[in-house]
Structure 1
């Protein structure tokens, strides 16, 4: 709720390895999106969901002179060319492959259908065969609008795109990418500014013209800017912030809304529902930590140099950094050896939402179930 859509800074973008869930009886594996982190400008979504990891098991050998080929499609946007992932390296009936888009284009922004065909090994196809009898495995993110959503008519695919690929409200204000990456970036910047303010305290003196104290104040304003947004930061310097009337909605609240609506969307899987519950709990954790950061930053920003240079101010600066660190990394509980999850875990689990459950194609009443 506190980290709003009008943030504008970049942060490091970390890539986390995703664990493929155990295969069900009709599922031969999974394909999921990754991000290279080779980001462009702030209004570009390049380097986000620009990779695809494919893990398949128990695939029979293709027919002689044939190979398996993987594709990404958009069934509703017929003018969009299929993305050729390439031939699948089958080894002992298993496939493990990572595809990276050569231009680092955002794949999830356009493609909701993963397909495996069996075609000529000697002449690799440039497009998937129109003969659906060659289609062997596939998976789709549902594009069917949620009938309960009578306002936006969002589908499961829409929610995944807004969270991970490109959110329309972010795009309107010139920010490329989904809600997840901007929450990650801005929380990184909050942690950096909190650390800088704390580390500079030793040089702060009661002198009204002390440059180090001025640096700390600037760092605190940056923290509040990321928490409140540029529209509201002036309300905290020196007044209190009105969280309830924050517009546009903050990242945490906006992500939570998409998760709630996604869980009732047609085509959502139990794994996605389970992840949504876990992410929502982490959002509550982060909300509490960032509210503590907000309280500390406002209190410190109101101090003059005489007050800011005192040991009591350093204690608050230490707490500011601790709370920001918890918000980003989570908090380890040594008693249970578990982590109370933060933004890093939100980021990791949000990417896991965009996982294809790959199943065999079958012929029913002369129609291929993958078509």
Structure 2
């Protein structure tokens, strides 16, 4: 489940179109998000990330589209985008099925003779707090699917456990009893705790035990003869990675907690902040475009306020003040510390979300021997989508800056209208993706990135054997 778009009440502008309601003109009342851009008198161009893996796609340079959808087609665009989002969600569900029951892939260091008998994957409930200090509702639930396993012995049941990282204090989480079916399948859904705690924050291992059916155990038995199935996210450091991050480190930073974000005062992983911030840009760009109908001084002020918010999220606070010197920051300054875009790969700290996810984490992940073929394939797919989003958001940035510097007369002229249309269109593409009308293929955006990053956190479950030992 994905969090619903939180839309705040608009400024009062007569004649605004109902495409996306504008945000309230009080930053303290509106959840805010980070972004990155910079410029002095001339446009500051976001840097193309340096690539470390040849099989990942190169960043496409930004070019302004030559044609913009006319205003009379807005309603059709809105309907098409809604339909696209539905297709995306359905496609995510279908894709999930195939990823969780793949073509017999095995992890890098596991002998192929030990078959995968099931998968455990993490789910976000969507009950996400807008408080930047909270990571509630992110990967707070679990789904376990097993297949082709023998039934438990008479009087016994299968119990699932989530285990903390090996070096940490032993704090197993009881996920419950698996429901076993006559066809050899078993399943379990763990709805999380009352606080919607992020399960990936401290847990990297999964265990199934076979124990007494009548008395559910409070913790997994220490008797190794009861241990049946096991999986883990490797904690072995990546030898080719300067940071020496393990597979679990990458997954944790993407979905649970990232050190750079924590230093900036933001809890949660990189993925959820990319999602939140891009979602807000969609809201603000639609609000700015709809305010054009007023053709008034108040409407122009609203448009510029929304444009400044967009630039703050794209630029981050440092580049925002370079690009718009003397302009007030109308977003939460904590959230705006981290940009969406990257402008200087050597000096920008913290790095922009797109660069941080795509170049730093995904490039390193595919080089890990402990990452499964499915995880590596998924990382390449996510990286391509990140490149799509980077192009769209750079166009949003350039359009927003041009619009902000227009006079009121220019803003309400044809050039202003066309740029506002393009701004909203490109922001929507960045969030939900773009359908090619000739091939029906989807160029993926942040929504697909969000679901696919969650799919990276999938346990491949195998039977406990001497060559695949279980551990507490």
> Are positions 1:44 and 2:129 aligned together?
no
8 Å contact 2:159–2:209 — kept in the other structure? yes
> Are positions 1:370 and 2:464 aligned together?
no
SS of corresponding position for 2:116: coil
Of 152, 155, 174, 1:62 maps to 152
Structure 1 residue 308, shift from structure 2 partner? 1.0
C-alpha distance in 1 between matches for 2:433 and 2:285: 16
Of 291, 305, 308, 1:218 maps to 305
Of 204, 207, 213, 1:115 maps to 207
The residue aligned with 2:395 is 292
C-alpha distance in 2 between matches for 1:369 and 1:236: 56
C-alpha distance in 2 between matches for 1:178 and 1:225: 20
C-alpha distance in 2 between matches for 1:98 and 1:124: 16
Structure 1 residue 310, shift from structure 2 partner? 1.2
Pick closer, same or farther for the CA change 1:311–1:238 going to 2, 3 Å.
Answer: farther
The residue aligned with 1:348 is 451
Pick closer, same or farther for the CA change 1:75–1:325 going to 2, 3 Å.
Answer: closer
C-alpha distance in 2 between matches for 1:123 and 1:78: 28
8 Å contact 2:342–2:352 — kept in the other structure? no
Structure 1 residue 167, shift from structure 2 partner? 0.8
Structure 1 residue 243, shift from structure 2 partner? 2.0
The residue aligned with 1:3 is none
Structure 1 residue 247, shift from structure 2 partner? 3.1
Pick closer, same or farther for the CA change 1:218–1:127 going to 2, 3 Å.
Answer: same
8 Å contact 2:342–2:351 — kept in the other structure? no
Residue by residue over 1:187-218, the C-alpha shift from the partner in whole angstroms, topping out at 9 and shown as x without a partner, is 0011110000001101123xxxx111100000
8 Å contact 2:256–2:268 — kept in the other structure? yes
Residue by residue over 1:19-51, the C-alpha shift from the partner in whole angstroms, topping out at 9 and shown as x without a partner, is 223362701111001111212322111111110
Of 5, 9, 21, 2:101 maps to 21
Bigger RCO of structures 1 and 2 (CA < 8 A, at least 6 apart)? 2
SS of corresponding position for 1:243: coil
Structure 1 residue 96, shift from structure 2 partner? 2.6
Residue by residue over 1:50-69, the C-alpha shift from the partner in whole angstroms, topping out at 9 and shown as x without a partner, is 10111111121111110000
Of 193, 202, 210, 2:284 maps to 193
8 Å contact 2:163–2:206 — kept in the other structure? yes
Structure 1 residue 237, shift from structure 2 partner? 2.3
Structure 1, unaligned stretches of length 5 or more?
1-7
8 Å contact 1:238–1:298 — kept in the other structure? no
Of 212, 215, 230, 1:138 maps to 230
8 Å contact 1:156–1:266 — kept in the other structure? no
C-alpha distance in 2 between matches for 1:136 and 1:78: 23
Structure 1 residue 238, shift from structure 2 partner? 6.7
8 Å contact 2:254–2:270 — kept in the other structure? yes
C-alpha distance in 2 between matches for 1:95 and 1:323: 44
The residue aligned with 1:308 is 411
C-alpha distance in 1 between matches for 2:136 and 2:162: 17
SS of corresponding position for 1:177: coil
8 Å contact 1:10–1:42 — kept in the other structure? no
Structure 1 residue 255, shift from structure 2 partner? 0.2
C-alpha distance in 2 between matches for 1:38 and 1:10: 18
Q: How many residues align?
A: 354
The residue aligned with 1:277 is 380
Q: Report runs of 4+ in structure 1 exceeding 3 Å deviation.
A: 14-17
C-alpha distance in 2 between matches for 1:280 and 1:313: 33
C-alpha distance in 2 between matches for 1:158 and 1:168: 10
Residue pairs, 1:200-211, within 5 angstroms: 200-205=291-296, 210-211=297-298
Of 111, 118, 121, 1:32 maps to 121
Of 206, 229, 247, 1:156 maps to 247
C-alpha distance in 2 between matches for 1:39 and 1:10: 14
> Are positions 1:333 and 2:436 aligned together?
yes
SS of corresponding position for 1:200: helix
C-alpha distance in 2 between matches for 1:346 and 1:52: 19
8 Å contact 2:255–2:454 — kept in the other structure? yes
C-alpha distance in 2 between matches for 1:242 and 1:329: 21
The structure carrying a bigger strand percent of its residues is: 1
Structure 1 residue 74, shift from structure 2 partner? 2.2
8 Å contact 2:271–2:450 — kept in the other structure? yes
Structure 1 residue 265, shift from structure 2 partner? 2.0
SS of corresponding position for 2:32: coil
> Are positions 1:105 and 2:197 aligned together?
yes
Structure 2, unaligned stretches of length 5 or more?
1-30, 35-87, 105-113, 327-340
C-alpha distance in 1 between matches for 2:325 and 2:294: 24
CA RMSD of aligned residues (A): 2.2
